[in-house]
Amino acid sequence: MPLGNHRAAAGISIFGLEFKLSFGLLGAKQKPDRGEIAARRGGTHEACFADLRTWAGRRLGTAPLALRLSGARHRPPRQVGRAVPAAVLSPPEHRLRGGKFMEDVVIYGLLRGGIYAMAAFGFTLVLGVIGVVNFAHGALVVFGGLLTEYLGRMLGLPYPVALAGAACGTGLLAVVAQRFFIARTFKLEPLMVLVQTFGMAAVITELGIQAWGGEERMVRLETGLPPGWFLGETFVPSFDLLIFLVSLASTGLLFLLLSHSGFGRALRACRDRRESAQLCGINLNATFERTMFVSGLWAGLAGGMFVTLGPLAPYMHFTWTVDAFLVITIGGLGSIVGALVGGFIFGVLSFGASFYVPTAAPAVIFSVLLLFLILRPQGLFGTGPALRK
């Protein structure tokens, strides 16, 4: 009996040894060890967090930098709006801190600040000439972006044609708002006009919801341009650089329009002395309508360009209005150059705050705004007497 038990034990042990050996040889690929399982789980969690950061970057319209911060060293690049070289997706860890990261924030903030500047051009124009704080301006920006997406997607128009058509359509919508709403009440109390612009924003937003729905929309643009270039060690997407150049060109064009044209002279006369302008034969209503058209035109351009970088939805109008107001607060009321510089400063500030202190980014931005209001209430390029007037 004891002998039988030893044989059974030996048989079992031998069978178990043979089973383990055969399993180890044949099933090694199907059943990894604990170290491999832990490594795979860690990689899965890294991928999840990286995808979350990428999603947040797409929501902010900052996909290239978000991909750089994703830490995805061994994963192939994902298509987010436009192609990004694989080299951009694998920075060393030390590049995410210190001066290099600050360089990235400054460059991307300047690139995105061009859109903020274009959105603020129309806002400061209406406020400086007509004297109305147009809280429907953000709704015009969103309307221009959604109209650009609709013309390109549904009608199949090339992007430049869709952008130009959407900008003109937004300008005409601004003229309608001026003729049937603002022109009837801008001589009343400023509070009444302010409330009316809120109502205009609600109407334009509802038009956008009825036309395109409430979901977010974005243009997937194929420009045929190279993905981008490296400025030092920072990758600069080609379309972001194009928007930056367009913002500079639009600033120069608007400056020439206001300084060396009959419309610009009439506009400045209406801004400085309305009674004297009327005595000289200048039609105030026509000048104000042209001002609103230019304001809506630039708002449509800003929205049509942003929709290629980030999603837009009708409910985002108030955010754009506040951003434009912050830009002209920094740059100065009635100054086109101030709106451009203020847009660049606001772009760098908002971009840096979103990545350094994402939970307190609004507090940081409004703290800087408060400092501007205390130290220089007229802005960088504004004039005190004009502002008090």
Q: Where along the chain do its domains lie? A: 32-92, 99-388
Task: Read off the pLDDT of residues 9-35 as tens digits, 9 standing for 90 and up.
Answer: 444 444 444 433 333 333 344 444 444
pLDDT beyond 90 at 173 = yes
Give the least confident one: 38-42, 153-157, 264-268. Answer: 38-42
Q: How many contiguous H segments (helices) and E segments (strands) does the chain have?
A: 16, 2
Residue 297 and residue 168 in contact, taking contact as beta carbons nearer than 8 Å: yes
**Between 200 and 57, the higher pLDDT residue:** 200
Give the pLDDT of residue 89: 32
Give the pLDDT of residue 292: 93
Region 151-174 average pLDDT: 90
Residue 340 and residue 247 in contact, taking contact as beta carbons nearer than 8 Å: yes
Give the pLDDT of residue 281: 85
pLDDT beyond 90 at 132 = no
Task: Scan for tokens 């801008």, then name that residue.
Answer: 186
Task: Read off the pLDDT of residues 340-367 as tens digits, 9 standing for 90 and up.
Answer: 999 999 999 888 888 888 888 888 888 8
Give the pLDDT of residue 143: 94
Residue 158 and residue 95 in contact, taking contact as beta carbons nearer than 8 Å: no
Give the least confident one: 63-67, 183-187, 202-206, 334-338. Answer: 63-67
* pTM summary value: 0.71
**Sign of dihedral through CA atoms 293, 296, 302, 307?**
negative
CATH code for residues 99-388: 1.10.3470
Give the pLDDT of residue 9: 41
Residue 123 and residue 133 in contact, taking contact as beta carbons nearer than 8 Å: no
Residue 292 and residue 183 in contact, taking contact as beta carbons nearer than 8 Å: no
